[in-house]
């Protein structure tokens, strides 16, 4: 399953930029074990997971959560023999060992925003999975890098020749880039512009954490508080369409229509395949009474996600607003049909 179709241009300098502690493991070509040099980890070298918990200090992160990360790292050091270089088979064995470690500790996949909550409940999402893999990799000197796809994160294991193996942490299987492109409907322009399937630098992955904190705040109705986190995410990861979408949605909830329109248009330009962006942009134009623009955006949303009843309903309201009662009735009935169908 080694991805040979795309040779990465990433170099040792990028690995060093993401994981400064990683590089001493790449000096030779033999497969001598390195774990003899690894001492019991006690948090003295801060990992990405520790950084994320620091960012969540105002939202419930506790010393027990830091201890949980340290415990995972120490258990990994006991279980996994890091190598100076890897074959594909050795890479898969290492990744399977990390998956086994998390399962043995009781972690399972589920929707979640904050790492601290995931550690406490042992329910972690794809971003949490990647964070814990990377934290262990930073200490054990395993060449792992996070990758972002639409509403999803996964991992890349890099080899000495610049090729890589994608690792899907939720399923614990290697997958080709082509799988994600097809499954998630990723536009080629979003790949070329570095929105998706880009090997993330450390600062960009920190941007993903800011986006998660902002989304958590949104889920609690704290729209104003979320804006600074989405702004930080965009500063750290300028092509982060999800952060633009989320900030635009928060602006819309706060009735800051001009700001919402600007962010949502930027999100749509970065990721033209995201139906929810087009739907919310339609809501913005509806409120501005720009009905032609609103109809365009709702129609685009339906084309991208025909199983979502909301834009059908919105078009029904739009038709009612412009006095097209017959058309309004047709669209509202269609919305009910789609809604009923989605429940089957």
- Asked if residues 136 and 74 have their Cβ atoms less than 8 Å apart, the reply is no
- On whether the pTM is more than 0.85, the answer is yes
295: helix, strand or coil = helix
In 177-208, which positions are buried (b, 16+ CB within 10 angstroms) versus exposed (e)?
beebbeeeebbeebbeebbbbbbbbbebbbbb
- Asked if residues 288 and 295 have their Cβ atoms less than 8 Å apart, the reply is no
pLDDT at 18: 52
Q: What is the DSSP letter of 115?
A: H
pLDDT at 38: 53
Element (H, E) at 94: helix 88-104
Q: What angle do CA 334, 291, 302 make, to 5 degrees?
A: 35
**Structural domains of the chain sorted by starting position, each given as residue range(s) with its CATH number in brackets:** 12-196 (no CATH), 201-268 (1.25.40.10), 274-344 (1.25.40.10)
Identify which of 204, 171, 56 has the alpha carbon closest to the alpha carbon of residue 116. Answer: 56
pLDDT at 40: 76
pLDDT at 344: 63
Each residue's pLDDT tens digit, 217-268? 999 999 999 999 999 999 999 999 999 999 999 999 999 999 999 999 999 9
Total number of residues shown for the chain:
344
Identify which of 174, 247, 171 has the alpha carbon closest to the alpha carbon of residue 207. Answer: 247
Tell me the mean pLDDT per 10 residues along the chain, length 344.
Answer: 38 45 32 49 84 97 96 95 96 98 97 96 97 97 97 97 97 97 96 96 98 98 98 98 98 98 98 97 98 98 97 98 97 97 76
DSSP string for 192-242: HTTSSSEEPPHHHHHHHHHHHHHHHHHHTT-HHHHHHHHHHHHHHSTT-HH
pLDDT at 41: 78
Contacts of residue 337, Cβ cutoff 8 Å, sequence gap at least 6: none
Each residue's pLDDT tens digit, 87-131? 999 999 999 999 999 999 999 999 999 999 999 999 999 999 999
154: helix, strand or coil = strand
- Asked if residues 102 and 128 have their Cβ atoms less than 8 Å apart, the reply is no
Contacts of residue 282, Cβ cutoff 8 Å, sequence gap at least 6: 293, 294, 295, 296, 297, 298, 301, 311, 314
pLDDT at 36: 44
């Amino acid at each position: 399953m080694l991805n040979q179709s795309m040779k990465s241009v990433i170099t040792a300098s990028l690995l060093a930029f993401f994981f400064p502690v990683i590089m001493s493991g790449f000096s030779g070509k033999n497969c001598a074990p390195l774990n003899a040099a690894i001492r019991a980890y006690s948090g003295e070298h801060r990992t990405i997971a520790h950084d994320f918990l620091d960012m969540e200090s105002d939202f419930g992160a506790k010393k027990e959560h830091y201890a949980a990360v340290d415990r995972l790292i120490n258990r990994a050091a006991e279980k996994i023999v890091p190598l100076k270089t890897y074959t594909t088979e050795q890479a898969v064995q290492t990744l399977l060992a990390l998956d086994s470690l998390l399962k043995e500790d009781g972690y399972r996949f589920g929707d979640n925003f904050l790492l601290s909550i995931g550690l406490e409940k042992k329910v972690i999402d794809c971003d949490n999975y990647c964070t814990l893999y990377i934290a262990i990799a930073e200490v054990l000197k395993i060449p792992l890098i996070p990758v972002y796809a639409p509403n999803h994160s996964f991992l890349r294991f890099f080899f000495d020749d610049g090729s890589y193996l994608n690792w899907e942490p939720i399923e614990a299987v290697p997958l080709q880039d082509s799988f994600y492109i097809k499954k998630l409907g990723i536009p080629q322009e979003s790949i070329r512009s570095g929105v998706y399937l880009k090997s993330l630098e450390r600062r960009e992955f920190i941007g993903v954490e800011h986006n998660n904190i902002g989304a958590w705040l949104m889920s609690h109705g704290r729209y104003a508080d979320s804006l600074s986190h989405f702004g930080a995410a965009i500063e750290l990861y300028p092509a982060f369409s999800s952060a633009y979408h989320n900030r635009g949605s928060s602006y819309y909830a706060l009735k800051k229509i001009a700001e919402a329109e600007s962010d949502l248009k930027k999100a749509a330009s970065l990721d033209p395949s995201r139906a929810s962006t087009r739907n919310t942009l339609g809501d913005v134009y509806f409120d501005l009474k720009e009905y032609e623009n609103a109809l365009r955006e709702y129609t685009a949303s339906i084309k991208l996600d025909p199983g979502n009843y909301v834009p059908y309903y919105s078009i029904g309201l739009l038709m009612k607003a412009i006095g097209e009662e017959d058309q309004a009735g047709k669209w509202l009935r269609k919305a009910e049909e789609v809604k009923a169908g989605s429940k089957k």
